[in-house]
Amino acid sequence: MNPDRHLAPAPGKPAPALAREWPAGVDEAGRGPLAGPVVAAAVVLDPARPIPGLDDSKRLSAARRIELATQIRSHAAAWAVAWAEPGEIDRLNILQATMLAMRRAILGLTCLPARVLVDGNRCPQADGLDCEFIAIVGGDALEPAISAASILAKVHRDECMVELDGRYPGYGFAIHKGYPTAAHREALLSLGPCEIHRRSFAPVRAAMRSATLSLAP
């Protein structure tokens, strides 16, 4: 992942003229991990090209998510994936970094919709965005556009963590995707944090303290 870019390249096809009238769904993936970016996606579905099987990404198998992500990228009127880096998470806090990633995804759409449906109970900053924001708790299981966004965000982040596993071997990122599993915590204590670990998260801070104490005379 290029640290100088925070938006995944989406197809350059123009959005249908009616896309402004269709809502965008927005969701994130990766708030809980100890490492890697938090990723957000925004999706405007085309009612003329329905995608059967959309659901909360957590309810779907990895293979099914990948299959649906391919359909979403092909059939959606517009979509964008964006992220906030670990350094931004540490500087802003995870909530504000998530909101930043969501805003970047919305701005990445080829057509800004009149309504934006956001999973959860908070919405990103609306400054400069001519659209209505609606927060929906559990929206990833209720609104197809949010379900689509949750799938794109999850698939993109998983692919990112597999790539980062090759750059930072030994932590098992390709397996646990940065989440605080027992294996990840053990590797963190053994190897110490790497560049993509979130230093504002308590287990990472603890590993840093442990490394410092082990180096003390």
Which of 65, 67, 72, 66 has the alpha carbon at shortest distance from 50?
A: 72
**Domain coverage including residue 19:** 1-217
pLDDT tier, 111 (very low <50, low <70, confident <90, very high otherwise): confident
For the entire predicted model, the pTM comes to 0.91
Higher pLDDT, 214 or 130: 130
| pLDDT value at residue 2 | 40
210: confidence class by pLDDT, cuts 50, 70, 90 = confident
Kindly report the average pLDDT of the chain as a whole number.
91
pLDDT of residue 112: 87
pLDDT digits over 142-198, tens only?
Answer: 999 999 999 999 999 999 999 999 999 999 999 999 999 999 999 999 999 999 999
pLDDT per residue over 124-153, tens digit each? 988 888 899 999 999 999 999 999 999 999
Torsion of the alpha carbons at 18, 135, 96 and 151, rounded to the nearest 10: -60
pLDDT at 1 (0 to 100) = 43
CATH classification of the domain holding 182: 3.30.420.10
Q: Tell me how far apart the alpha carbons of residues 85 and 68 are, in angstroms, rounded to a whole number.
A: 26
Total structural domains within the chain: 1
Q: 80 pLDDT exceeds 90?
A: yes
Lowest mean pLDDT among 62-71, 96-105, 107-116: 107-116
